[in-house]
Structure formats: structure tokens, C-alpha cells
Amino acid sequence: MSFLHPEVVSGWRTSNIITTTTLLTLLMAAGCAGTQWGKRIAYSPASFVEAMQAQAPEMLAEDLVIPFAVTPEMVVRAKLLLERMPLLHTDIDRANRLMDALTDEDEFGLVYDSVATSPPAITVERGYGNCLALTSIFIGLAREVGLVAYYVDASNRINDLRREEEIIVDSGHIAGVVLTEKGYTFVDYDGHAQDYRTFEIIDDITALAHYYNNLGFELIFNAERAGEPVPREEALRNFELAITVRPDFTRAHNNLGVAHTQLGDPDSAAAAYRTAIEMDPKTDAAYHNLANLQMRAGDLSGALALYTKALEVRRDNPYLHYHRGLVQYRLGDLGAAEESFKRAVRLQRDYIEAHNLLAQVYYQQGRLEEAEKVKATVKLILAGKR
């Protein structure tokens, strides 16, 4: 669960973060026997280890995680709960019952937490997990009871955005699909299936890359939220593990740049961002982060071009509009800066920095009454009245 736009981070573990699971039937073009267009996408735990040893022989054994490896005890519980329901004759009924059981207080009783990536055993021990953690348990158990289930990368849905220290981190969003009599059925544990634009079935190895990428993000996010020193080297190592698993994993290259930025290595950061852009020209986070580097280095024209490019990919990012406005302001283009700051505050009404700079634009243009109205809005935001 991308500084940032972690595509799925929208809150943390409290009693009201529990969301209703969503089961939505969708037709999808995918294979039915663990392969997709000739590519293997589903593995047993043993074959997964073999595949990883062949693909990344340099990876240490202690670093390798099988994200869908459910414990024997969990499998027994899953089979018993299905056996207690003799009327569950269809795969869609069994899949629905299994999905609901993970968050049913009388069964597994797991709680959704947007920043809690962990393997199945730890997730069950803790009692909570994020989209990847809960989906992994569902996929592992579904396969153990004879269902065909795969991971899905649903990161292109309509997402919440989050900014940390002017850097955009990309964590993505993982859900699942299970094959039933009705086709492929979508399984999502954060309750936003209606918001999805596009998604794709991914193989188990790519899911592991998401696992490491999420861990790196969470190390940064949780430390900053708690006001503690950020373990940046450890975060960087997790992003490197994600790239080891999937060298073409764009999000991890962006986040590797984030880690290098925070460690004070702008050259390595820029190289990572450029690699992400080369791999995926539509990766707005990498454009955004590279533009931030260039702005700080004083290359305002270069930064402006990159912000504009990022906005061609994603228009609904208030931080992009703000940063483009900041560069336009520094370049003396007050009219363009005004429009950028207005767009930023339309997208995020409590965006204080954008409001303040919009007021400065008005002051410099001699529009004192409008400036004072914006400053009054800022006071209301700070007072919690807007």
C-alpha cells in the first residue's frame, strides 16, 4: 500500500477504518490454469521458491517471502467453515463465504489497515492487514480449497493522494480475482471496487515485488507519522529487493529515487526517476519527483516542463498544480501561477500552502480585497471550520 502518492493510503487502523469487503463479478481476459498468454502467473509455495531462486539467485534466503503461504492451521479453519455450509454448491458461493470469513468477527476476524503489509501468519497473529495482506490470505486459502485465484494490480483506480516532504511515493493497490461459474470475480478488501478504471491480473512474483515496495513505503510513512527517525537505508533496501524481484517494476524505481533523495544523493535519485520514466512514460510520480529535484537545483524551466508533462498524465493531483504554480510564480508568470494555485485548492480545499501563495499572487497584482479573502479562508482552515 507510492512521496507521493501511495495509491491506497487513506487512513490508519482505528475502529472506523474497517470497510465492507467487495465482491464484484467482472469479465476478464485471462487464462484458467495458472498461465496467462503463455506466462505462468500462479505457483504453489514450493514452485514459487524454485522460480525465485532461478530468477534472483542473489537474493538471500531470509529475504524471500511467499506472500500467499497460508499456514496449515488456517487451511483447516477454511475447510471447516466451508464444510459447515453444505448448501455452498457453487464456486461463487464458496468464494463469497471464504472472502467474508476473513473479516467476520466469528471467523478470522481480520481488520483492514491501509499501511500494514505482512505475510499471512503475521497478519492473522496481529489481526489486521492492508489490501495486499488480506488479499494474499484469500488467494492462499482459495487455492488450498480448490478455487482458482490470482492477484490483481488495481492501481489505476481513482485514488487518494498523499504528500510527504514534497516527494511522491507510489505504493499501488492490490486486489484479487477468483474464477467461478460466473467468470472472474473481483475481490477487494478496502471497499472501492466501484472506483476502478482499469486493472490487470499479475503473477505471484510481481505480487512479491509489491510486497517489498509496500514495506519500504511503510517504513517511511509509519516513522514520520510517529515522529521517529526514518530508517531510510532499510526502506531503500526494500525498494532494491522489489527491483531484484521485478527489474521492470516502475513504482519501485520511483521509490528508490525517493530513498536516495532522502539520503541526500540527488544524482542517484534522478537516475532512478529517469529509469522509471523510461520504463513507463505515464508514471506521473517520477516526473513529479524529478521536477522537484530540478526546482531545488534551480532549473526552473526544466522543472516546469516536467510538471507539465506529469499533468498530462494525471490532472487530478493538487500537488502537481501547486508545484507548477510555485515554479511559475518564481519565473514571474503570475497569471499562470494564479490558475495553478486555483486548481490546487479546487482539488484540495484545505491546501494551505496553495491558498497562501494564491494570496501572494493577488497582493503582487494589487488585488488586495481578493488576497484578504484568501487569507481569511486560511484562518478558517487552521481553525478547523472549513
- Residue showing cell 480585497: 369
Q: Does domain 15-247 have CATH number 3.30.1380?
A: no
Lowest mean pLDDT across 17-26, 41-50, 135-144: 17-26
Residue 110 has pLDDT above 90, yes or no: yes
**pLDDT tens digit sequence for 209-240:** 999 999 999 998 899 889 999 899 999 999 99
Domain ranges of the chain: 15-247, 315-386
Largest CA distance in the chain: 76
> Above pLDDT 90, what percent of the chain?
70
Rounded Cα gap, residues 291 and 129, in angstroms: 34
Backbone phi and psi for residue 110, each to the nearest 5 degrees, phi listed first: -80, 150
Q: What is the pLDDT of residue 193?
A: 56
The overall average pLDDT reported for the chain is 85
Residue 168 has pLDDT above 70, yes or no: no
Lowest mean pLDDT across 60-69, 95-104, 155-164, 276-285: 155-164
Residue 37 has pLDDT above 70, yes or no: no
HEC-encoded secondary structure of the chain: CCCEECCCCCCCCCHHHCCCCEEEEECCCCCCCCEECCEECCCCHHHHHHHHHHHCCCCCHHHCCCCCCCCHHHHHHHHHHHHCCCCCCCHHHHHHHHHHHHHCCCCCCCEECCCCCCCHHHHHHHCEECHHHHHHHHHHHHHHCCCEEEEEECCCCCCCCECECCECCECCCEEEEEEECCEEEEEECCCCHHHCCCCEEECHHHHHHHHHHHHHHHHHHHHHHCCCCCCHHHHHHHHHHHHHHCCCCHHHHHHHHHHHHHCCCHHHHHHHHHHHHHHCCCCHHHHHHHHHHHHHCCCHHHHHHHHHHHHHHCCCCHHHHHHHHHHHHHCCCHHHHHHHHHHHHHHCCCCHHHHHHHHHHHHHCCCHHHHHHHHHHHHHHHCCCC
Q: Does domain 315-386 have CATH number 3.40.50.1400?
A: no
Lowest mean pLDDT across 52-61, 154-163, 322-331, 377-386: 154-163
* Cβ atoms of 59 and 244 closer than 8 Å: yes
